Structure 1
Amino acid sequence: MSLIWQLSVAVIALAFVALVIFLIKTLKAAENSLDKTSQTLQEVQKTIDELTYEVKEVLRHANGITEDVQYKMKQIDPVIETVKNVGEILNEVTLSAKQVSTALIERFKKPTEVRVSTKDAARAALQTPSEKTVQSYEATYSKKNSANWMKWIDLAAGAWHKFRH
């Protein structure tokens, strides 16, 4: 029995030595992998540090550009507002000129209708309702409004002259 014990102990010792050798190789391989991983992480950290600096520089430049654009936009705002106002004034002047020219054309079309006669009364009876409305409006407002429109046109022309010079 002692031989079996000795043989069993020898086999166990050999198995233990084989296990230790296998574990040593595995640990060496793990150590090499960890060394490579450590080097890679150091390189990645260095790259990240360099990129961080560059990203900060880009952000500083972007902030500077944004501030510059905002400053320039604030300077342009009055110009845009002026252009808008000029457009509105020109629109009003155009509308006024259109109304004045329409009134003048209507006045020149019917110069004999100022005197009311039986022929005019007969013609007035044959007119459409919209023609009667236009004549009624002109009769009521043409003298007052033509003077007002002329004042508006003079005012707009003066403003336009000042704006150009």
Structure 2
Amino acid sequence: MIIILYLSVALIAVAFLVLVIYLSKTLKSLQLTLKNVASTLEGLEGQMKGITTETAELLHKTNRLAEDIQEKSEKLNTVVHAVQGVGASVQQFNTSMKQAAGSVSASVRENQDKINQVVTWSQAAMEIWEKWKQKKKSAL
């Protein structure tokens, strides 16, 4: 019975040894996996630092671009105000021209009889002048 006990203990020892060997292999494999994970995370950390740097640079460029757009917008506002001034001047000029045209039209209407008389006298003078030219030609 003692032999069976020794054999049982020996069998348990061998089984424990096999268990320890497989557990050791599993732990070594786990250790390699964790090293790979650690190196991957280190690479990821480096990439994140690069991304953070690029993002900061992009943000600075975006801010500079926004400031530039703001400055140009303010300059453009000055141009728009100048164009508005020109538009107002043109509008005033048009108003003045309309008033002048209205004034001329009113003067023409008021003096229509006089204008008709001037035209009639002018035609008469032209006819007299034409007759005088013809007489002068025929006299030569």
Match of 2:56 in 1: 56
Deviation of 1:86 (Å): 3.9
Instruction: From the superposition, tell whether residues 3 and 78 of structure 1 become closer, same or farther in structure 2 (CA, over 3 Å).
Output: same
Instruction: Show the 5 A alignment for 1:77-156.
Output: 77-87=77-87, 90=90
Specify the code of the residue in structure 1 equivalent to 2:62: A
Please identify, of 81-90 and 38-47, the stretch whose mean Cα deviation from structure 2 is larger. 81-90
Q: Does 1:66 find its partner at 2:66? A: yes
Instruction: Show the 5 A alignment for 1:38-57.
Output: 38-57=38-57
Q: TM-score, normalised by structure 2?
A: 0.60
Where structure 2 has 5 or more consecutive residues not aligned to the other structure, the ranges are 113-140
Distance 1:26 1:98 in 2: 101
Deviations 1:105-147 (A, max 9, x none): 8xx89xx9xxxxxxxxxxxxxxxxxxxxxxxxxxxxxxxxxxx
Instruction: From the superposition, tell whether residues 99 and 2 of structure 1 become closer, same or farther in structure 2 (CA, over 3 Å).
Output: farther
Instruction: From the superposition, tell whether residues 98 and 9 of structure 1 become closer, same or farther in structure 2 (CA, over 3 Å).
Output: farther
Match of 2:132 in 1: none
Q: Could you say what secondary structure the match of 2:83 adopts?
A: helix
Specify the code of the residue in structure 1 equivalent to 2:7: L
Distance 2:34 2:18 in 1: 24
Specify the code of the residue in structure 2 equivalent to 1:61: K
Where structure 1 has 5 or more consecutive residues not aligned to the other structure, the ranges are 113-165
Deviation of 1:54 (Å): 2.1
| Structure number with higher relative contact order (C-alpha < 8 Å, ≥ 6 residues apart) | 1
Deviation of 1:93 (Å): 6.1
| Percent of residue pairs bearing the same amino acid type | 34
Deviation of 1:78 (Å): 2.0
Deviation of 1:26 (Å): 0.5
Across the aligned residues of Structure 1 and Structure 2, the Cα RMSD in angstroms comes to 3.1
User: Between Structure 1 and Structure 2, whose CA radius of gyration is higher?
Assistant: 2
Match of 1:160 in 2: none
4+ residue segments displaced more than 3 Å: 84-105
